[in-house]
Amino acid sequence: MQATAETQTSEAAIVAAAQALRQDAVRMLGELVAHPSLMSEERSAQAYMADTFAALGLQVHEFQIDEDRIRAHPGYSPSIVSYEGRPNVVGIHKPDGPSRGKSLIFNGHIDVVPTGAPALWTHPPFDPFIEGDRLHGRGACDMKAGIVAYTMAFKALQSLGLAPASPVYFQSVVEEECTGNGALACLVEDYRADAAIIPEPLGGIMTCQLGVIWLAIEVLGKPVHASVAQTGVGAIDFSLYLFAELKKLEARWNEPSARYRCFAHHAHPVNFNLGKIQGGEWASSVPSACPATFASASIPT
Ligand SMILES: [Zn+2]
């Protein structure tokens, strides 16, 4: 730390400064949740983050993911939608003098998963509300709270007249919930530090994480009239059969002997999910087609 005051600032003083920002943090989280940053709709939330970083005196770097630059990287996944108008935003802190100590990256994703069935929400998903000591809304937990936490950590230091003595990069990235290309683009953009912290709401400190594989299959059946259904092959039935077979693969991959060593302790590290299925034409025809999307995913990120 660089202290503007001559006196050494205690850890307790830093913690107290962070606690003093609680209302600020709640306000920022509510404002961020109100930006419906579903995949491909992250623009307004990212503009909010750019403004927030600028207000803290950070240098702001906004850049759009360039697929031609990340495609050759082993971490690349094919994108689903265009990156046009969906920038990554990085707030950059550089010390006034020579760097001392360790540099750090904070990385948080701004995208949120779909909101699901409206009937299951007691409040609109992007209309944050507070109940007890929790703020609810899509993305409040995963992981806008993490972005707020790293932002407030820096602000707390500022309130004490302190600043990190090495570079710190505050990354707000798009598209974590499927490809991870947002964080990858930061890496390819050559953001490097001695350590990186991703303040995901997973509890505790994790140093290893599973990824996700998406699998899209379109099953074509043998359509016949429902009255002779036994002579056809229903595309929906066959998709369900395929998924049942994938669940057997899931069981094999979760066998203790098949696990990667970092997940040896985990109760059920690999999970296949039949995330989306649609098919058929109407009730009295054996379905001719059934597109389905499966995912093999880890503990939620
Ligand atoms: Zn997350």
Regarding whether 265 and 179 lie in a shared domain, the answer is: no
CA of 247: how far to CAs of 114, 244, 250, 273, 279, in Å?
A: 24, 5, 5, 9, 21
Nearest Cα residue to 163 out of 154, 172, 171: 154
- Residue 23 CA, distance from chain mean position: 25
Token pair, residue 235, equals: 């595309």
Mean pLDDT over all residues of the chain?
92
What separation in Å is there between the alpha carbon of 198 and the centre of ligand 1? 9
What is the model's pLDDT at position 172?
98
What separation in Å is there between the alpha carbon of 183 and the centre of ligand 1? 12
What separation in Å is there between the alpha carbon of 253 and the centre of ligand 1? 24
What is the model's pLDDT at position 2?
54
Of 197, 232, 250, the position where a domain reaches its end is 197
Query: Whole domain around residue 128: which residue ranges?
Result: 2-197
What is the model's pLDDT at position 298?
52
Average pLDDT over residues 13-28: 97
What separation in Å is there between the alpha carbon of 236 and the centre of ligand 1? 32
What is the model's pLDDT at position 294?
75
What separation in Å is there between the alpha carbon of 209 and the centre of ligand 1? 12
> What band does 175 get if pLDDT is binned at 50, 70 and 90?
very high
Of 38-52, 61-75, 287-301, the range with the lowest mean pLDDT is 287-301
Regarding whether 85 and 159 lie in a shared domain, the answer is: yes
> What band does 1 get if pLDDT is binned at 50, 70 and 90?
low
What is the model's pLDDT at position 284?
95
Regarding whether 224 and 155 lie in a shared domain, the answer is: no
Could you tell me if 217 and 272 are in contact, meaning their C-beta atoms sit under 8 angstroms apart? no
What separation in Å is there between the alpha carbon of 140 and the centre of ligand 1? 10
What separation in Å is there between the alpha carbon of 110 and the centre of ligand 1? 9
Token pair, residue 40, equals: 């491909």
Regarding whether 149 and 12 lie in a shared domain, the answer is: yes
Regarding whether 227 and 146 lie in a shared domain, the answer is: no
What is the model's pLDDT at position 261?
85
Regarding whether 245 and 110 lie in a shared domain, the answer is: no
Q: Over 70: is that where the pLDDT of 194 sits?
A: yes
What separation in Å is there between the alpha carbon of 107 and the centre of ligand 1? 10
What separation in Å is there between the alpha carbon of 262 and the centre of ligand 1? 20
Average pLDDT over residues 159-166: 96
Q: Over 90: is that where the pLDDT of 6 sits?
A: no
Average pLDDT over residues 67-89: 94
What is the model's pLDDT at position 63?
98
Average pLDDT over residues 28-52: 97
